[in-house]
Amino acid sequence: MLDADEANHDWVMSQVQRLRAPLVTCEAVLTEAAFLMSRAGVDSSIVPQLVTRGFVTIAKLFDDDAAQIVRLMARYRNVPMSLTDACLVKLVERTPNATLFTLDSDFSIYRQKGRRLIPLLSP
Residue 58, exposed/middle/buried by CB under 10 A (0-12, 13-18, 19+)? middle
Instruction: Please check whether residue 3 lies inside any domain of the structure.
Output: no
Backbone phi and psi for residue 112, each to the nearest 5 degrees, phi listed first: -75, 170
| Domain that includes residue 91, residue range | 9-121
Average pLDDT over residues 62-76: 94
Q: What is the CATH number of the domain that holds 51?
A: 3.40.50.1010
CA distance 122 to 90: 18
Instruction: Please check whether residue 13 lies inside any domain of the structure.
Output: yes
pLDDT in tens, 8-48: 999 999 999 999 999 999 999 999 999 999 998 889 999 99
Instruction: Please check whether residue 1 lies inside any domain of the structure.
Output: no
Instruction: Please check whether residue 57 lies inside any domain of the structure.
Output: yes
In the chain, DSSP finds a helix count (H) and a strand count (E) of: 5, 4
Global pTM exceeds 0.85:
yes
Confidence of residue 2 (pLDDT cuts 50, 70, 90): confident
Number of domains, the chain: 1
Average pLDDT over residues 58-66: 90
